[in-house]
Every structure is written in C-alpha cells, then in structure tokens.
Structure 1
Amino acid sequence: FSRANPQQLYLPVTIDPEYHYEAINVENQQKNLSSLLWWTRRVIAMRKNFKAFSRGSLEFLNPDNPKVLAFLRRWENETIVVIVNLSRFSQSAELDLSRFAGCVPMEVFSRNLFRPIRKTHYVITLGPHAYYWFALQAPIDARRALKKHVVPTIKAPAQLEVLLGNSQREQIEREVLPNHIQNSRWFGSKARTFRNLEVKEQLAFSPDAEGARLWFVEVNYLDAPTETYAIPVKIASGETAHAIAQNAPHAIVAHFGRRNGAILCDAIWDSAFRSQLFDAIVRRRTLRAQAGQFVGLTTSGLESQDFDVSANSHVLSAEQSNSSMLFDNKFFLKLYRKLEDGVNPDVEITRFLTEQTDFPNVPAFVGALEYRRAKAEPTVVCLLQRAVPNEGNVWTLTVDALGRYYERVLERKADFQNETAPPGVLINELVGGVYPEKVKLLGQRTGELHLALASRSNDPAFAPESFNAMAQRSVYQSMRTSLRRAFTSLEKKLSDVPAKFRSEAREVLAAEKEILAREKRLLDRRNNAAKIRIHGDYHLGQLLYTGKDFVILDFEGEPARPLSDRKMKRSALRDVAGMMRSFQYAAYAALWQQAMRKEDVPFLERWADLWYRQTSSMFLQSYLSTTTGAMFIPKNSDDLQVMLEAYLLDKAVYEIGYELNNRPSWVLIPVRGIKHILQMT
C-alpha cells in the first residue's frame, strides 16, 4: 500500500517469504481477480446493493449441523439468507425455511437460482470454508398474482357445461375472463382500451363432463381491431386445486363459492389435457366443435412408438407470448394464445425447412393442430416439434462470455488507464477463449438459414422476389414513420431518461435529419438483391446452444405485428441487423448486472462498445463469407453498406420506442447504437 522507506514505518515489514510485500501487494492483487483485494471489493459492492446487510434484523437459523452457521438478514422486502461452512471439510446441513415455501433462493454474486424452498427442510451442501449469500425471491407468477388482481368467485355449480349457459355467461364474459386475460403474460394488448369479450367457440376434448375445454375468446377494443385468444379451461378440486394454487397461482381463472375448494383453471396445468392435445396431433384426430372442427396434422415418418410418451409431460415456465409444454424430453408443444386466420409463419417456415430443405439447425417439425371452418383460412392452434437437448440459450452464453471478458479487462485496468485506442490484437486477446469461434459459427448458420429459405423458387410462399424500386420506397416510408414516432416519444419522455444519459439522448434527437438522410439513401440505389422469407425477430434469445452447434427457434416474427405483415418477404439484412443489435444489448446487460461494482462501470463502458464492434464485425464477415454470390446479398459493397446501415438505424430507432415504454434506463443502449452507426462512415 505504500512506497515509503521501510525504516520509517511504525511496524516492521513482514519478512515471511509467503507474505512478503514483494509477493503480496496491491499492484499484484489488482491484476488477479481471484485475489483477496478483488474479493473484498466485490463483497463491499454487493453489501451496498442490499440494505438488509447494514440495516436489517438478524435472526439465527440453528441448522442441525453445528459446523454450519446460518442466519437471516431482513429489511422491508429484502430477505437474505447467509450460510457459512466453518469447517475445513465439506459439510451438509438442513435448514428450516418452511415459512418461505415457494420462494426461490438466488445466489447474489452469480444470480443463479437454486431449488425452490418447500415445506420440508431445505438441504444445502458446502465445500470447505464455503459460504452462500441467498436473496429469497417470490416466484415471478406469484409476485404478479399478488400485485395485480384478486381472483373472482363464481356463484354457480362447479360444472363446465353450465358456465356458458344463459344465467352464468354474463359473469364469465364481463368479469371472470377479462380479469384473467388482462393479468396473463401472454396477453399482449394490455395498453389498449378494453371494450368487451365473447366466447365464440368451444371444444370438449373428451365426452367426460369433467374434461377440459378449449375456448376461443374474441376480445374487442375501443382503439384497435378485434383479437382472438385461445384459453383452455378445466375445473379442478381437492389436492389438484391445492397444487395449482401453490405452484401456478396465475393459472387460476376463478374460484367457485363452494367448500370443496374447486377452481376454474388454465387447463395446460392438467396432464390429461396436455396428453389430449398431443394425441390429437400425432393420431391426426378430427374433433368437432360448435362452429368448426379441429384437425391434427403430422409430417411423414412419425413412428408409432412415439405416441406413447404423451402421459409424461410438464409446462415450461419461461415467460413468453405462448404456452409451451415438454413431453418426455422428446417433443416440444407450443399452444398459440393469439390466433389469426392463416398459417402461422412459425409452423410454415419450420415445416418448410424440415420437409423441403437439408437445413438441420431448427427443431424438426412433427405436426400441428388446425382449426377449420367454412369460408375461412385454417387457423393454427398448436405446433409440435422434436425437443432439442441443449445447454441453454445463446443470450445466456453470451452474457457469461462477456463476464469473463470484463474480468480480463479489469485485471489489466492499471495498464489501460491511459490507453485511448487499444490495437485490434489486444482486443482479440481480451475477448479470448472460444467465444469468437462461436460467433463465426453463428454467422455461418445464419447465412445457411437464409440460403435454405431462398432455395425453392417453385414454391410461391418461399420463392425470392425482386427488391425493386416500389419495395425500396415502401421500406423507406416505414422507416420514416417509425423514426418520427420514436423521436416524438423520446422528446415527450426525455424526463424519464436517467439524467446522466439525457445529453446523449439530445445528441441523437438533434441527428434526426441525418438519420433520415442515411435511410433515404435506400432510394438512390438500384441493387439486384432479392427479398426472401426471413426469421423476422432474430436475436440471441432465439437460439439454443447444444454444446457443439446452434439451433434456431421461433419463426413467428414479432407477435404484435399482423400475421400478413409477418409473412412478407424482406431483405435478409434485416435479420443480420437484428443480431448485430442484440450483441450490443448483451454487452450492456452484462455490464449492468448487480454483481458488477458500480465504480467499475464507467471504465468498462468503453470496453463494452469495443467488444460490440469487434463481435458484430466477426459475425458479419462470417455471414457474408457464407452467402457469397447469394441473390439476396447486394453485389456492390457500397449498396450493401447503405442497406445494412439503414436496417441497423431502423432497428435502433424501434428499440428507443420500446425502451421508453418498458425500461427507460436502458434507452442508452439504442442511443449509443445510433451514435456508433452514424460515426461508421
């Protein structure tokens, strides 16, 4: 800590070789993120993130193992569990955390979630002198249920056949279903002004009176077109109802005013209903409803032994706009909540890639469930695919890689303090590891996807089309409208943006004419690049990593857009721009994690931008190498630059509007993205 003359120090210098000042000193420990210095810094930073550590109450838990110390720190809504192994040997202990049943322990440094707490004792295992700091989190759906609504009560017998009768239908359509829909994650029109709803169709999956039913609910708005949603319902009672109330409270649609605890619930939480959905598809059943019929479809080559797995299934808990189920880890079934007439692009593209191309990097299409009625296009209700064993999505993989990158930068912080423009070789060294090779593989797979989508000129739905002057003008008009809408919103909501970012937001607002001029250059180019079917909502969260390769998911497009719009052919560079923007989001998401010390963030921001530029460049070069000579890539490099820049700007402009409505503190990401794009040329 000091360069003073050792003879002038109050105490003598340690002469033990292991702890001598030439071995143990700040300069050396600064370069090693595993050192005591960095550990202390991280602990202090984490302590500042939770007021419970400094102001909370202290309560010892008295585990069964005396060599394990465990206690609670609580302050307002914060509950921290600290568990420490006081022994030099591994230890196991049981803790009585039953009062927190349903909560999920989150390890505060890694933000990894551990097993949920149950009514039984919680078993924990620790290595020698190991410790855990857990923040207890209520389940997401439970928090939402407690925060947003009270479940209504139906004053009628617990029988499905009477709920839509004349005497009960009014309460179902005016109170029960509006309450449930508006508090469901999959309902995407919460900002619209609700008018009324009506159950237009219902299907009984079995002749059993207690069997589940699938309702089609038509929702009307004062300020938007009508939408139709699929809601499967079932009546549960006894232990089944209790289990749903404990594990999925958001699935409860209503209570019945009886003493047996019966509930009306979302039927996806009923294993029998999930099996019926699966069987309807794989056995190609035709089920008659009131106004139409449901028809199961399958691809060729489905073996009969595959039919026997449907009883072993569970609901996937990931938050999304549809409902997903996994069958025996072999099949993945998606129930579309928002329904529109016509083939869903998710089904259409997945089936095309499976049956008509050799592109293997998508979950194989198995089948679908369609709703058919006279004088209307079929409506896709469910999609069934092969399940893909994987290590998680590529967003998580990327954020983890970024965490290691930031650690390497911090280890050399003292060397970089005076650096202004580190050379490319240094950036390559810091990015390090195998992640750059994965980025190149991702670029290659993206190119191969577009080549596959453009490979069948004899199929009108997938045949490439000319990106002519009319198409260029249409794209430009759409970009101009989006820019004006987003910047008007930014001007109105500038006060919502954190004060330290407002000057940068004003810089971008002042550049509106320049952005428009860059986008307008599309009209000056007459390139021969074709329009093709694309993914439409391409980002890191739409891919899984298998350990060796990538699998691309969710070809549904942006759910907020009309079905006809999502099926349009567009420039492949739109997908490329979406992925490049996703890299910048990942860079800042990793930087703003709670485990990151706040004092390190300003220093690392510049390195986040450098990582984003380097990684985006690697991805783009790999993509262009894969698609050399493809009809959907402009032949002229200047045309390519103009088109890619326009799509990058358009995507960043869209992100500004999205973040202002959802996460104003994140608006810095697209703002800096626009500044970077404008500085590229």
Structure 2
Amino acid sequence: MPKTALQREYGRTPAALPSTSLVELLRGWLPRQRWFAGKGRRVTGLTILSSTELSPGCLHLLVRAEHLGPPAHGGTAVPAPADWYQLLLGVREMLPSRLAPAFIGRVSVGPLNEMVVYDALHDPTAAGLLLERLRSPGSVGPLRFERDARVTLPAGLTARLLDVEQSNTSLVYGDSFILKVFRRVQPGINPDLEVPWALARQECSRVPAPAAWFRTSQPQEATLGVLQPFLRDAEDGWTLALRSLTAGEEFGDQAHALGRATAEVHLALASAFPVEVPSRAERRRLAVAMSERLDATARSVAELQRYASGLRGAFDAVARVGTSRPSQRIHGDLHLGQLLCTGQQWSLIDFEGEPARPLAERRRAQSPVRDVAGMLRSFDYAARSRRPWRPEWAQRCRDAFCAGYAAGAHWDPREEPELLRAYETDRAVYEVLYEARHRPDWLPVPMAAVRRLAENRETSKP
C-alpha cells in the first residue's frame, strides 16, 4: 500500500510510543506552557488518560497532571485537584527550524528511540487534520467530530496558529474559521459551545454561531474544541481602547455601544436558559464563596493580606442586602478583549468563563452584574496601561457603558451598588492571583483597585 503524505513526512507511526517516554517528556514540558494551570508548582504525577492516533505521525492525548497546591495554614504545600490537558503531538525523525518552538523532547528508549516529539498544533499539516475530521463528522476512538449540517466547510484551508496570550490554543483556517482547542479540559459540555449554540437558536446576531466541534467520551464526556466563523476584519475592544488612549481621544460612544451589546446578549441568554430569583441562603453562599476565594488568594499573594478585612465587607453586604435582579446565564469572563468590532457591529466571543473555576460553577445561573463588573475593571486596566494614568477617561467609559447597558436592558446596574461592588471586588481578587502567577509586572493594576475597594470608596470610581 502506498504511503500517505503524512507517513512520508513523519516516518514511523507514534502508535507504539511507550507511555513512560511520553510521561517523562511531558512532565518537564507541561509546566512551562502558558496555559498550564499549576504555574510555579511542581508536577507530582502524570497519567495518560487516552491516546488516539488521528493519522500516522499525529497523536491526540488527554493527560492527567497532579501538582502541589499553595501552602496551607501550617505553611506546608498540599496536593491540589488534578487537571486534565489536551495535547496534539507530532513525531518526526528531524524537526525543521520553523517548528523549533514546538519542540517537546526526543525519545530515548523504545521503538521510537531518537524520534522527536513536538506540539503538533504549531504544524499546519497536522493542525489541518482537525479541520478535515470536522468536515467529515464521525468517531475516531473516543473522539467524536460533529458539525452544523447547514454550514459548508471548504477543504484545503491552510491552518495557522493564532499567536496571542491566552489559556487555550486557537487555529485560524484560511481566514474563514477559527478553532479554539481547549487545553485544560473539564468533564461536561463547555459553555463556549453550549452558550453560542443556544444563542444561535435565539437568532442573536451578537455572537458567532458554532460551525463544528469535537468532544471525547473517555474517560468522561468533555468538550475539546469549537469551530466558529473568523471575523477577520474585526478589532477587539482592548486594542481600540488603547488606541483611543494613545491618541488622547474619548471612548465614550464605543463604551455606550459595548454596554448596549452586552445588554442584548444578556436578554437573549435570559430567553435561552432558565432564570432564578436568588434566595437569602443563596446570597449567603455567594458571599461565603467570594470570601473563601479572597482567603485563598491572600495566602498565595502576600500583598493582598493587609486589605483582606476591608474587602470582606463587600461580600458581607451581599448576604445582607436583597436584589431585584434574577440570576441567569452570563458570559462569565467579560472584558474588552472579549468584544470584537466589525464596522459598527459589536460581537461577544469566548463564553468559556474563567477557566480556573470549576465547569459547574461557570454553567450556573449568576447575576448579570458580574459581567458588568468585569467590564468596569477592564476600563480601569486600559487606563492604567498608559502613562500618564487617566482616571477620568476610565470613569467616563464606565459611566457610558452602564448608560448603554441601561438603554438596552431597561435597568441600570448602578441601581445595585452593593452587588456591583461585591462582584468588582471578587474580580479584582481574581486579577491579583492571575497577575501574581502569570504577569507580576501587572500586579500593581489590580492592587490599585484592591486599595480603593478595601476603603469602600464610591463603587463607580476607578
């Protein structure tokens, strides 16, 4: 039988690659990746959960990584919950220079002795396999590839890796589609598939509809990736906001439009999913969860400890004060980078929520005020990323966003000051932990908000 192009290019099949060789290579490689959740923590155990050969020279893996968590009260690190990661591995005798950044290691024992293993999502040929599988739905081992039958997926679209800082990996195919490959995988349907699919049925034009997706059934059902139309001429809100700041221009009209777009999506979500009126007990549980995240972060980031008692007051107020707003499905991680502008149209993307939080929590009905608080924090981030700092610019953006939201939703989030302050505080605490782990130079940005919120100054001020 003639060899395929992949067989000719890659050589031997990885099917016989010994798991012990993979484990040793991945144990050292995983912690260095941008999307690895256990930053700064030693991997104490690594297990291959599933291994599927997509084609000769290309192997799909799910691995389970165990690592130590932050120190407990006694100062001793304790095991953290294990994480699952999705990998697409390639195998070659020699790695070309263009794939040098994808290098994982060279096998030293077994039938693939001296073969190179690398991250195949960096390889257009290997990455193209995923699109071809999505074009022809079906199963490969535990993997299931599916698509919307109404969408045409052309053959032969060239794959390129989207080189942006994020917790997943995105591939663009011919400037027509974008595939988000979830690196950290959790059992269950991912909101980045569930929510846009539901909104498509609501005919909500603010969110690109899924064109195709793939999932696994082993060791449990989980979403692995989602393909959507690529808005190639779009610019994200973060880029536009920074451009405005650099030019000394106002951003109020855009912020107002962002607020209105967010409100429209919230209304569509309230129609697509059940809504709930939170009880006093549920508000207490929310306050407790926020306080626990604060305590855990303060143990990891010493700079936060002096403000903890002041911040906790915002959470206590949530338990005491009622709210007129029902809980519903929301975006969950809304900021300027999650909104794209094409012409005059704003679209919302990336409904995965905060990847560090459990999937069940991200799929839970929550207050829409949480998304509003995320956007208010994002305007503050933008203002502090340029010198001189322009707090009045951020304030005008925050007011314009809330006014736009009120125009679209027919209620103003500033009418819920205790809830807005609590969610903004919770978001700032999340940012402190994120920046401390991933971008220490940015830590002063959320810490400035922490100081303000701990002093309980007016919620709307940046």
TM-score range, shorter chain: 0.7 to 0.9
In structure 2, what is the Cα distance between the partners aligned to 1:267 and 1:671?
Answer: 38
Equivalent position to 1:308, from 144, 155, 169: 155
Q: Return the alpha-carbon distance in structure 1 between the equivalents of residues 220 and 14 of structure 2.
A: 29
**Matching residue within 147, 150, 157 for 1:298:** 147
Counterpart for residue 349 of structure 2:
553
In the alignment, what sits opposite 1:162? 16
User: Are the equivalent residues in 1 in contact too, given 2:21–2:108 (CA < 8 A)?
Assistant: no
Q: Which residue of 1 aligns with 2:126?
A: 273
The residue number in structure 1 matching 2:276 is: 465
Shift of 1:472: 0.7
Task: Choose the corresponding residue for 1:645, options 410, 421, 425.
Answer: 421
Provide the residue aligned with 2:30 in structure 1: 181
Q: How many residues are matched? A: 434
Equivalent residues in 2 for 1:242-253, closer than 5 Å: 242=96, 246-253=97-104
> Is the Cα contact below 8 Å between 2:210 and 2:229 reproduced in 1?
yes
Matched-pair contact (CA < 8 Å) for 1:192–1:224: no
Q: Normalising by the residue count of structure 2, what TM-score does the alignment of the two structures yield?
A: 0.86
Q: Counterpart in 1 of 2:73?
A: none
Change in 2 beyond 3 A, CA 1:530/1:542: same
**Equivalent of 2:254 in 426, 430, 438:** 438
Aligned in 2, Cα 1:308/1:513: closer, same or farther, shift over 3 Å?
closer
Equivalence for 1:673:
449
Q: What is the deviation of 1:262?
A: 5.1
Taking the TM superposition and a 5 Å limit, the aligned residue runs for 1:420-435 are 431-432=249-250, 435=251
Q: C-alpha deviations, 1:340-396, integer Å up to 9, x for none?
A: 211011111121112x212112222101112124xx752111211111123432111
Find the partner of 2:90 among 234, 249, 252.
Answer: 234
Structure 1 vs Structure 2 CA RMSD: 2.7
Q: Describe how 1:350-389 pairs up with structure 2 within 5 A.
A: 350-354=196-200, 356-373=201-218, 378-389=221-232
Take 1:396 and 1:214, find their aligned partners in 2: how far apart are those partners?
Answer: 34
Q: Structure 1 pair 488/216, CA: closer, same or farther in 2 (3 Å)?
A: closer
Cα distance change of structure 1 residues 277 and 628 upon mapping to structure 2, 3 Å threshold: same
| Separation (CA, whole Å) in 1 of partners of 2:36 and 2:436 | 20
Q: How does 1:58-137 map to 2 (within 5 A)?
A: none
The aligned runs of 1:310-349 (5 Å cut-off) are 310=157, 312-349=158-195
- The one of 374, 384, 395 aligned to 1:588: 384
Given that residues 279 and 307 in structure 1 are in contact (C-alpha distance below 8 angstroms), is that contact kept between their aligned partners in structure 2? no
Query: What SS class does the counterpart of residue 559 from structure 1 fall into?
Result: coil
CA distance in 2, matches of 1:318, 1:657: 21
Which residue number corresponds to residue 614 of structure 1? 396
CA distance in 1, matches of 2:81, 2:145: 29
Asked if the contact 1:281–1:295 (Cα under 8 Å) also holds between the matched residues in 2, the reply is: no
Q: Quick check: 1:404 aligned with 2:247?
A: yes
CA–CA separation in structure 2 for the residues paired with 1:384 and 1:580: 29
SS at match of 2:331: coil
Q: 1:171 pairs with 21, 24, 32, which one?
A: 21
TM-score, with normalisation over the residues of structure 1? 0.60
Cα distance in structure 2, aligned partners of 1:611 and 1:204: 53
Cα 1:158–1:177 change in 2 (3 A) is farther
Corresponding position of 2:136: 283
Q: Aligned letter for 1:403?
A: T
SS of 2:90's equivalent in the other structure is strand
Q: CA 1:548–1:489 in 2, change beyond 3 Å: closer, same or farther?
A: same
Task: Give distance in 1, aligned partners of 2:323 and 2:303.
Answer: 39
Q: Does the Cα contact within 8 Å between 1:343 and 1:380 map onto a contact in 2? A: yes
Gaps of 5+ in 2: 1-10, 69-78
Please give the alpha-carbon distance, in whole angstroms, between the structure 1 residues aligned to 2:434 and 2:444. Answer: 12
Letter of the 1:472 counterpart: R
Distance 1:380 1:663, change over 3 A: closer
Greater relative contact order (Cα < 8 A, sep 6+): 2
**Per-residue Cα deviation, 1:176-202 (whole angstroms, up to 9, x for no partner):** 121221222222213333222122211
> Does the CA contact (< 8 Å) of 1:391 and 1:544 recur in 2?
yes
Q: 1:256 to 1:513 in 2, by over 3 A?
A: closer
Equivalent-residue separation in structure 1 for 2:448 and 2:124 (angstroms): 48
In the TM superposition, what are the counterparts of 1:7-86 in structure 2 within 5 Å? none
**CA contact 2:45–2:65 (8 Å) conserved in 1:** yes
Q: Does 1:568 align with 2:422?
A: no
Larger radius of gyration: 1
Q: Deviations over 1:255-280 (max 9, x none)?
A: 3579x995222222333432321122
CA contact (8 A) 2:103 2:117 kept: yes
Post-superposition CA distance 1:293-341 (Å, at most 9, x none): 22222124123xx33244x222222232222111111111122112221
Q: Which residue of 1 aligns with 2:236?
A: 393
CA drift at 1:543: 1.9
Change (3 A) 1:651 1:269: closer
Provide the rounded CA distance (Å) in 2 between the counterparts of 1:286 and 1:301: 20
Q: CA deviation at 1:568?
A: 1.3
CA distance in 2, matches of 1:337, 1:161: 22
- Once residues 12 and 132 of structure 2 are traced to their aligned partners in structure 1, the CA distance between those partners, rounded to angstroms, is 27
CA drift of 1:254 comes to 1.7
Cα distance, 1:656–1:349 mapped onto 2, change above 3 Å: same
2:293 and 2:236 map into 1 onto residues whose CA distance is: 30
- Mapped to 1, the partners of 2:117 and 2:451 lie a distance apart of 52
Q: Deviations over 1:610-663 (max 9, x none)?
A: 11111101111111121115xxx78xx75x122112212222233334444445
Alignment check: 8 A CA contact 1:545 1:551 kept: yes
* Whole-angstrom distance in 2 between the partners of 1:399 and 1:670: 18
SS at match of 2:166: coil
Instruction: For 1:224 and 1:272, locate their aligned partners in 2 and report how far apart those are by CA, in whole Å.
Output: 37
Question: What CA distance in whole angstroms lies between the structure 1 residues aligned with 2:440 and 2:428?
Answer: 14
Match of 1:474 in 2: 285
Which amino acid is the alignment partner of residue 92 of structure 2?
A
Same amino acid, percent of matched pairs: 28
Asked if 2 retains the 8 angstrom alpha-carbon contact of 1:158 and 1:256, the reply is no
The residue number in structure 1 matching 2:76 is none
Distance 1:309 1:359 in 2: 30
Which amino acid counterpart does residue 365 of structure 1 have in structure 2?
A: P
1:435-474: CA deviation from partner (whole Å, max 9, x where unpaired):
3211111010011111111013xxxxx2111111122111
* Equivalent residue, structure 2, for 1:200: 49
Per-residue Cα deviation, 1:376-423 (whole angstroms, up to 9, x for no partner): 752111211111123432111111111112xxxxxxxxxxxxxxxxxx
Shift of 1:518: 3.6
**Structure 1 residues 265 and 357, CA gap change in structure 2 (3 angstroms):** same
